[in-house]
Structures are given as structure tokens and as C-alpha cells.
Amino acid sequence: MRVVVVGATGNLGSAMLTRLSREPSVTEIVGVARRMPIATDPRYSGVYWHQLDIGETSAAARLAGIFAGADAVVHLAWALQPNHDEESLWRTNVEGTKNVLAAVAAARVPQIAYPSSIAAYSPGPKTRRVDESWPTGGVPTSHYSRHKAINERAFDRFEEDHPSIVVTRFRPGFIFSRDAATEIAGLFVGKLIPLGWLRFFHAPFVPLPPQFVAQVVHSSDVADAFWRALDRRAAGAFNIAAEPVIDGKAVASVLDTRWLPIRLRVARFAAKVTWKLRLQNSDPGWIDLGALVPIMSTERARRELGWEPSVSSLDALEEILHGVAEHARVTASPQLRGM
């Protein structure tokens, strides 16, 4: 099996390459990234690399050449920054996805797999689980959510226009891993708020709104779900999340402190002001996501893919919080072998 991974150097991309490298049936792994990885790692020594910005106007044609002969394309490329420049994010996240889909069609790739997100869902309940039929209209106040919802419509059209191509969509919770802690902290917090103190001091409390209830999952478990879908040629949408559901009490327990409930509007106002002042990188839409997205059922993935998370949500959260304090980062990057 020849698999092309677009966006292969990020948090999920690195986990995907590691997962694919363990499968004897995967005879060739191709990585596509906007920037070439610097460090080398023997686990990824068999990856062939192409440097490409998927948002470029010429990207579709170049990608079609890279995709030729592939058995599957895994499209993981996504930009979270610069958060103050939605036009730039649109170029990568929406236009880039259009280019990938056009290239998959032109190269007649049998399967494409894509991580949508829990953020693609319209606001929903926190007291019961929703399945993959819940509307994917997004949360309007979050550009991340809007872009995910727009891409859901793009994949809907693609399925209608290309019924012979297997389309697999995953809707994971927030994806964490220790090795990506520094990168994720930089994307959401920024450099102006020092986090190294977490190694030496406990926060006296964690201020979070009661409505802030979310699901998380480890990147290795998301990568495993992707592989299972590729191996089974499984089509459709799959919710992916670990247990238990994360709320203020859970975050406080991981940090060995106490939860301080605050009003949602206070949290949102604080996020808006500090984001506007560029004191941190998270726009208030992320607060809205945590408060409004539904709690997902993962029954379909468990039943049809035989998928089970190997890392609990509490352990995944603990990994990233400790990783932030220890400045952990993805250092094991694949070596450039081909262009």
C-alpha cells in the first residue's frame, strides 16, 4: 500500500507516520509538508518527502503528480496561526483542502481520509451523546469551527461527484500528546505567558466556566483510527474521543488543585481582551467551542473499526500539561529522502 500523508510534520502527522511505519502492508509512505523537517529519526527513515504549500494556486496540479499511484491520501494539513489573520488561515484550511480534493480526483486515488473535528458540529447537548448524524454547521463565532464546517460541505460535494472514491472523515476531540506540547502551547498561549513555572508550582485554582465541557484524545489513538479505516476501506464519518469527558473538575484534578467556576461571559471577555492585546494566541471562539460543542458518542468507531483508545483523556491531558512545563516538542522528524 502506498500512502501519502499531507501535513505530515505536525502533531497528528508525526503520529500518523509512526503508525504507518509499523504496518508491513504499507510499502511506501510519502510525506507532504510546507516546511521540510530538520531533525532525523530512524523510525521515519523510509519516508519520501515533498515540500509544498497546499494553498498555492498551482498546488492541485503538483499534488496530483504526487498522488499518482497512491492507494490512499491522508489529508492532515491545517493552520491554527496566525490567529489574527483569518484570510491566511482560509488559504491553507479551505483553499488548501479544495486543492487536495481536486488532486485526489485527478489522480483517481481510491481513498481519502481527513480529520474534521468535534468543532465542526453545531451547538449541542452536554448531558447526552450525539452520533455522526448531528448537524455539522459549526459554531459561528469560531473561525476554526467555521472552516471545519465549510470543509464538511466540500467533502459532501466530493462524495456526490466521485462515488467511486472512499471518503473517510474523523471528528476527533481535541488532540493532545506530550511531544507536541510546546508547539500546541505556542499556538494557543504564545510566548508572552511563561509556562515553565508549572514544573515547580501548583496553580492555586483553575478558573473555568461550568459550561466548558470537552472531549480529548491522544494523537496516537487518532492515528490508529486512521490506519484502521485505511486497512478496512471504511467510508463515512467517525467520532473519536477518549474517556472520561473533561470538565473543570477534571482539569483541576490533573493539576492537583481546585476548580474555580467562573461565568462564561467573564471567561470570554478575558480571552477577547488578552487576544486583542496579543498577550495570548487564543481568540474567544475557542471558549465558545468548549462551551457549545456537543458530547460525542464513539460507538460507531468502536463497532465498525474495532477502535479503542489506549490512552485515557486524563492521561492525555496530563501528558500535554507536563509536556508544556518541560518544553517538550516534536523533535523526531522524518529525514528528507526525495523531492
Give residue-wise pLDDT tens across range 215-248.
999 999 999 999 999 999 999 999 999 999 999 9
Banded pLDDT at 41 (limits 50, 70, 90): low
Banded pLDDT at 80 (limits 50, 70, 90): confident
- Is the pLDDT score of 333 beyond 50? no
- Is the pLDDT score of 203 beyond 80? no
Banded pLDDT at 190 (limits 50, 70, 90): low
Banded pLDDT at 21 (limits 50, 70, 90): very high
pTM here is: 0.91
Give residue-wise pLDDT tens across range 131-146.
999 999 999 999 999 9
Burial class (CB in 10 A: 0-12, 13-18, 19+), 19: buried
- Is the pLDDT score of 328 beyond 50? no
- What is the per-residue DSSP string for 257-300? SEEEE--HHHHHHHHHHHHHTTSSS--THHHHHHHHSPEEP-HH
For 2-177+217-241+295-310, which CATH class? Answer: alpha beta
- Is the pLDDT score of 69 beyond 50? yes
> In one letter, which amino acid is 131?
D
- What is the per-residue DSSP string for 78-118? -----TT-HHHHHIIIIIHHHHHHHHHHHHT-SEEEEE--G
- Is the pLDDT score of 180 beyond 70? no
CA gap 228, 217 in Å, rounded: 16
Banded pLDDT at 299 (limits 50, 70, 90): very high
Looking at per-residue pLDDT, the higher value among 9 and 171 belongs to: 171
Of 86, 187, 206, the closest CA to residue 141 belongs to 86
